[in-house]
Amino acid sequence: MSWRGWLSGQTPSAPGTPGTLLAGIKQRGRQYLDDADNGKWVFPACKRTTADAGADRATVCDHTRLEAFRYLLMVPRGEFKLLAEPDSQGAAIEAYLRQRPHEDIVIEFTGNTMNDLATAVIAGFNWLNHCAGLARADRRPFSGTLNHFRRVALSAQKWWEMEGAKARSAQMLQAGQEPPLLLNLVWADYGRLAAEIAAGRRG
């Protein structure tokens, strides 16, 4: 059962393993950014018109989510991998909840890994909000984005604080189910907002 299922009794989805997701994001994210730097894609994706390559809704959504996640890929020493490690969830979520919200889409890292991860997560949400403005999409789904994700993170924090959380996480992963790893939570929420941008673009 997924972590939401543990809280609500709902039937879970069955995503890929965190390692598979992490490797896929890393590979596709870096390839996309390299291609954009080399002029293959209009960047940011939300500004593409029908005459541009990759202007269909699915591609814009995918690329916009990768653009938001690039901040995490930029964290020094590749420490974004901690988002997928059960042993790191308590510290990573605590750092995120402690981090003061900011509105930056240009950030600097401090060398404190957990704080840098938290800063990068928020910068990704800021990027999505920025893209919604560029695309002239409906802004209502973006109202209170950070407050929404804070509630998600608080629920996940409670899950990891329950007795036996690590063992339960391992069992769920073995069964192809979804524990509340910060990687899953960020990727899902970035995807939700990227989909709104891709669907609501107006030229």
Q: What's this model's pTM, rounded to 2 decimal places?
A: 0.90
Q: Is the pLDDT assigned to residue 88 strictly greater than 60?
A: yes
pLDDT at residue 14, rounded to an integer: 41
Q: Is the pLDDT assigned to residue 191 strictly greater than 50?
A: yes
What is the tens place of the pLDDT at every residue in 110-142? 999 999 999 999 999 999 999 999 999 888 888
H-type alpha helices, 38-110:
57-73, 89-98
Instruction: Report residue 2's pLDDT band, with 50, 70 and 90 as the boundaries.
Output: very low
Instruction: Report residue 15's pLDDT band, with 50, 70 and 90 as the boundaries.
Output: very low
How far is the C-alpha of 12 from the C-alpha of 179, rounded, in Å? 10
99 DSSP assignment: S
What is the tens place of the pLDDT at every residue in 22-69? 999 999 999 999 999 999 999 999 999 999 999 999 999 999 999 999
> What tokens appear for 54 in the block?
């990759």
Helix (H) or strand (E) holding 131: helix 113-134
Which string of DSSP letters, residue by residue, matches 175-199?
A: TT-----HHHHHHHHHHHHHHHHHH
